[in-house]
Amino acid sequence: MSTKVLTLLQTFTEIAALRAQVRAWRNAGERIAFVPTMGNLHDGHLSLVTLAKQHATRVVASIFVNPTQFGPKEDYASYPRTLAADQALLASGGCDALFAPTVETMYPLNGTNSPNFAIDVGAIGTILCGAVRPGHFSGVATVVAKLFNIVQPDAAVFGEKDFQQLMVLRNLVSQFNFQIEIIGAPTIREGSGLARSSRNQYLSAEEREQARVIYATLLQMRDMRQRGVAAEQAQDHAFAVLKSAGLNPDYAVIRDAQTLDLINENTTNEVALIAARLGKARLIDNIYWNC
């Protein structure tokens, strides 16, 4: 049964071939949804494909470990590449096509004077994860814009676990007038509450147990706010809890869920966001609620 399903997934490495297939589907009146990934897929990614299938008749996924969104001391070289396993998982989830380009395909060199084009995402790219990872969101926006132009989907699905990234990409679509519906997919969690992530595999069994504190702390932050506790007090409490559990937090904050600005009297939706380092992994998570 699984072999039969696998034959339904077409894998493309060249832009022209993928575009030809998408064009054929579109000419047949089909709607295209897109799921960009960096590979090393898990059930959380599969949930994005499942959601995409609810919004389209054809689903295209991409696997590309994008070098421009990694900092010089980050894990680009060691980031797991698991193409065969990823293809099997995508096929089992009913994905129709996979785009798996090389770096040279995505970033062609046209001589030594070729400009290095990149998208400046503005102030939102300089806060939270952007403050800790300078240039990260510029790299994300640039590669996603290129992928959008290659695939030209009707809709694209991104996980809400990367809350700031999702907001950056909504801004990208708005500012550059892409006719693409951006769909946020709920975070998939392990039984402990830990958000599914490819970087969870860097964690030892002991560290996985420690990492449970992230989601528990987010829930505490929400509960404190809903009891009327000041945001600053909830944030200080969360930071202290993470530190005492052995994590090294980059931030533990409460922001306006519509803008990521500091909350004020006009805020109607709040989001608690945590980024923390544990062993070799940098873990992010969030929850949001109505005020």
d(CA 50, CA 193): 21
Clarify whether 45 is annotated catalytic. yes
**Cα 284 to Cα 189: distance, rounded to the nearest angstrom:** 12
**To 5 degrees, how large is the angle CA 178–CA 180–CA 182?**
120
Nearest Cα residue to 34 out of 14, 58, 13, 11: 58
Is 285 strand, coil or helix?
Answer: strand
Distances (CA, A) of 277 to 202, 214, 246, 274, 287: 11, 11, 9, 10, 18
Give the integer Cα–Cα distance in Å for 182 and 23. Answer: 21
Q: Report residue 178: phi and psi, to 5°.
A: -70, 135
DSSP state for residue 262 in the 8-state scheme: P
Q: Which of 42, 45, 55, 136 is catalytic?
A: 45
Distance CA 194, CA 213 (A): 8
CA 128 to chain centre: 15
Q: Give the number of C-alpha atoms closer than 13 A to the C-alpha of residue 280, restricted to the C-beta side.
A: 10
Active centre residues (catalytic):
45
